[in-house]
Structure 1
Amino acid sequence: MSSTRQHRQAILLMIIAPAMWSIAGVFTRHLEAARSFEVTFWRSLFAALFILVWLGAQGRFTATLRAAGRWGVVSGFMWCLMFSCFMLAMTLTTVANTLVVMSIAPLLTALLAFFILGQKIAMRTWGAILLALLGVVWMCVGGMREADAAGGNAALGMLVAFAVPLASSINLITLKKAGAAVDLIPAIFIGGVLSCLFTLPFAWPLQASLHDVLILAILGVFQLGVPCMLMLRAAPHLSAPELSLLSLLEVLLGPLWAWLWANETPGAATLYGGALVLLALIVNEALGWRAQTRNAADAGNPKQVENTGAVDGGRA
């Protein structure tokens, strides 16, 4: 399979994954009794069980868990932070506020990729990150006003949410450092188990109804397990900043679902800022496809000197 086709398939996977991640807010708004740490516990438990069954059915759970090694442990801890802090933040503040804070991930990822991986970042990607950040700042205006009006919990929720983009960025760098040869799907299992162990003491005694458990089972499988696996499949064919930028689709879709099905109406700042984030994603990928097409054409010209690393953002 050509690298161009693999890249396009990876982009498709990274559109599906954040679309699935984005359902968390609207589903949790329909819980009956489960709150805060218990929500995180059940969701993480079902995600871990899904990965266990998925790999076990293929007869490779033990082998892949052992092969993941230290990279699997590091990635597992990052998944644990993301699983735990995301749901805690969601119970403290609005869906839009939580997702807006997470939007700084592309900048953190690009900086870590540059300094740790020595990865050249294309100018179009830096431009997209800056445009997306402008949109995030715009969105934050409305979010912080709400935080001030709502009191300490909303502000605390946004602070807790900050751990998510930080852990996400470190995790993406870990994926690139580990390389395509290391299967890090078991790291999702590790993250789920660690998240369960961390949250269970705070969640006890468990109060979730059967209705809540069913909702959290859906989230554990289809909002965590499946999309996280899709991201890992896409990771070898996209640069770390590209992965992080495409993940911003969750920021756009999450408030939309909450607006349509949970009556959380986004403010004007969220809508206009979100439009800038979407524009940044579209422009970055459109220019990327154009650059790839040009490079593919140039590859057939023997007089063309190969120098594609800086053009495509140092994609692995």
Structure 2
Amino acid sequence: MTLRHGQAVVLMVAVALLWSTAGVVTRQLEQAQAFEITFWRSAFTALSLAVILPVWQGADVWRRLIGSGAALWLSGLCWAVMFTAFMVALALTSVANVLITLAAGPLLTALVSRLFFGQRLPPHTWAAIAVAGAGIAWMFAQQLGNGGWLGSLVALGAPLGGAFNWNLVQRSQREGQGVDLVPAVLLGALLSAAVTLPLAWPWQASAHDVAWLAGLGLFQLALPCVLAVVCARVLKPAEVSLLALLEVLFGILLAWIGAGEVPSPAVWQGGALVLGALLAHLGWTYRKETFS
């Protein structure tokens, strides 16, 4: 699947919307606890991808998976960290608090790109990250004041894993290694399920809970994560992280409407800065590519 830049941007917005459903769905669960929630979601993600990947890429996807190099396995580890940290954090603190922590993604991605991958970022990207960072800092300080520091600390694993992941995807494409990192999502789900299974026992989830978590596995993880990897082949790592920030705004809104978690004024104020930085960056990038 090959996308133009504009198509990748639109698709990444849809990915962010699907990702944002985790918080509101988690609040519908009756009995499942943190590690069990993570296990079931990851297990259903792996099951979904075991069906999707052969249909999409052919039966030899399993042979390619076994014979792939270190980049694919490192990406799978990044996905596992992202999957596990995010769901455990949702059980420890509010949806808004977790999503605000995820918004640190562009800052971490830029630092990882510069420190570990030697990639230079244009000034307008740094400016957008700085403005978004100001919004994040404002929201984050208010949330920590409500005692959400532990959940925020756990949630930080998600953007940190994502920062390395987007850079791995981009570097593999730039170096022409021919490594397909899409199956890394499957590896990540399997690793996450394997790690959390012992911690989830004995199971307490009701049939109602399992049904919701099956939906999360397919529609909130399997499909959007595969599409995010496809987008990351076209978009720069910092762009992917900036677009992924929309998950924060979408998720807070859905949790408000569907679970009654009313965000504070600081959340909306900081969110406005984040969204403004995102739109300004995309507008500048589009203008530069159109008139250059």
- Is the TM-score greater than 0.5? yes
SS in 1 for 2:118: coil
Structure 1 residues not aligned, in runs of 5+: 148-153, 296-316
User: How far apart in 1 are the matches of 2:60 and 2:35?
Assistant: 31
1:285 matched to 2:279: no
1:275: how far off? 0.5
Deviations 1:269-303 (A, max 9, x none): 001000100000000000111101111xxxxxxxx
1:105: how far off? 1.2
| Residue 39 (structure 1) aligned to one of 37, 40, 46 | 37
SS in 1 for 2:86: helix
Deviations 1:56-114 (A, max 9, x none): 33313313313432111101111111111100000000001011111111011112212
Deviations 1:231-261 (A, max 9, x none): 1111111111111111100111111100011
User: How far apart in 2 are the matches of 1:64 and 1:271?
Assistant: 45
1:172 matched to 2:172: no
User: How far apart in 1 are the matches of 2:105 and 2:291?
Assistant: 29
| Residue 155 (structure 1) aligned to one of 149, 155, 173 | 149
User: Contact between 1:68 and 1:187, CA under 8 Å: does it hold in 2?
Assistant: no
- The equivalent residue for 1:188 is 185
Structure 2 residues not aligned, in runs of 5+: none
User: How far apart in 1 are the matches of 2:205 and 2:183?
Assistant: 27
User: How far apart in 1 are the matches of 2:283 and 2:210?
Assistant: 41
The size of the alignment, in residue pairs, is: 287
Q: 1:203-218 counterparts in 2 under 5 A? A: 203-218=200-215
1:135: how far off? 0.5
User: How far apart in 2 are the matches of 1:77 and 1:288?
Assistant: 31
**Residue type of the alignment partner of 1:18:** A
Q: 1:227-238 counterparts in 2 under 5 A? A: 227-238=224-235
Q: Which has the larger radius of gyration?
A: 1
**Residue type of the alignment partner of 1:224:** L
**Residue type of the alignment partner of 1:129:** I
User: Contact between 1:64 and 1:186, CA under 8 Å: does it hold in 2?
Assistant: no
1:143 matched to 2:143: yes
1:52 matched to 2:50: yes
For the aligned residue pairs, the C-alpha RMSD in angstroms reads 1.5
**Residue type of the alignment partner of 1:33:** Q
User: Contact between 1:68 and 1:184, CA under 8 Å: does it hold in 2?
Assistant: no
User: How far apart in 1 are the matches of 2:210 and 2:64?
Assistant: 29
User: Contact between 1:134 and 1:273, CA under 8 Å: does it hold in 2?
Assistant: yes
1:39: how far off? 0.2
SS in 1 for 2:145: helix
Q: Is the alpha carbon distance of 1:177 and 1:67 closer, same or farther for their aligned partners in structure 2, counting shifts above 3 Å?
A: farther
User: How far apart in 1 are the matches of 2:27 and 2:116?
Assistant: 39
- The equivalent residue for 1:101 is 101
User: How far apart in 1 are the matches of 2:116 and 2:206?
Assistant: 46
1:223 matched to 2:220: yes
User: How far apart in 2 are the matches of 1:248 and 1:292?
Assistant: 22
1:268: how far off? 0.5
User: Contact between 2:19 and 2:221, CA under 8 Å: does it hold in 1?
Assistant: yes
- The equivalent residue for 1:252 is 249
- The equivalent residue for 1:305 is none
